[in-house]
Chain A
């Protein structure tokens, strides 16, 4: 937004937010709002037509994003934003479809949908806010909880191996993979902007503090303490081997952009294949003529 377009008393992002729903439900010190700010800024910078951008969320604290952004948005059932986005994209290929949801929703409950959308290289952007637990339902162990963290279903600490999300996304075939913490505001914005302007399955993991459950149960302090932890323990290593990106409990967090490749998307593959098989009879779908 240009400086002269800013007016006193009106936040420059209000244009993209449903202000009638504010204040949002997120706790004081929660990082999800920061990621929404980054997303809106990236959207403004990308120059995309907001009428052609859709946001899908599932259930969870981050799942509320679909209700707060003033774009066409859909709040799906638990774990299902990725298949919903897939359908939306295939029915209306000119849309830019963004999945904005949490770790429990995207890779826990909806893990199967996630890996298949990445395998097919669906042309969607997945922003996964990782707070290491199922926050909205009371802080249960999620697929990303580090070993040793105490949560309501792990009162003696978690002993399950967690997912390494960038590795999962790359192994499944994603064409853009990045991980940041919500403290890396400008870099998150840049990554989202790159993903919005890219064709193919893009995955961005953003680590955020959950003060009310994860931090409280583990006595890690408030949001500010967790931001300081990110500041001290995150290391930017672009292009790092995604196999090395595991996160230990309060351990080092390797962040950066790990994968950025070009690959034909699902629709490209479908059109190419069917044109080859059916010849001129076939009308390509979703191609601007």
Chain B
């Protein structure tokens, strides 16, 4: 096993601002972890926004956020992961 010390994979929470999306599907195509998929629903502008299908796969790489031309998707760091990490570090 490769030892990475206390380094742990980051987890992200995807935030989609649906009504701002124009349905270009760039985020779906370029997410390296296949977290997203285009949905069938319509937003107020009549586009299909993406939806999250694999929330646990998101690795907080922020690629979706960088490639979105509409400022409609972004990620936040998953807090409970942080707490879990602290717990692990303090374990005797």
Contacts and interface: CB of A to CB of B under 8 A. Distances in A.
Contacts of B25: 224
Contact of B67 (A8, A30, A185, A222): A185
Interface size class of B (residues with CB under 8 A): 20 to 34
Contacts of A186: 66
Nearest to A35: B69
Contacts of B22: 23, 27-29
Contact of B24 (A7, A28, A189): A28
Contact of A32 (B17, B68, B69, B74): B69
B69 A34 contact: yes
Nearest to B69: A33
Given A6-B76, A41-B66, A186-B66, A22 B20 contact: yes
A37 B66 contact: yes
B15 A9 contact: yes
A22 B20 CA distance: 8
Nearest to B47: A28
Given A33-B69, A186-B66, A12 B26 contact: no
Contact of B20 (A23, A41, A227): A23
Interface string A19-49: 0001110111111111011100100000000
Interface in A5-20: 6-9, 11-14, 17
A3 interface: yes
A64 to B, nearest CB: 13
Contacts of B71: 11, 13-14, 17, 22, 33, 37
A227 B29 contact: yes
B77 A11 contact: no
Contacts of A60: none
A63 interface: no
Interface string A147-191: 000000000000000000000000000000000000101100100
Given A8-B76, A23-B45, A223 B68 contact: no
Interface of A: 3-4, 6-9, 11-14, 17, 22-24, 26-34, 36-38, 41, 183, 185-186, 189, 222-224, 227
Given A37-B65, A186-B66, A227-B30, 9 more contacts: A3-B77, A7-B76, A11-B72, A17-B71, A23-B45, A28-B22, A28-B47, A37-B68, A222-B24
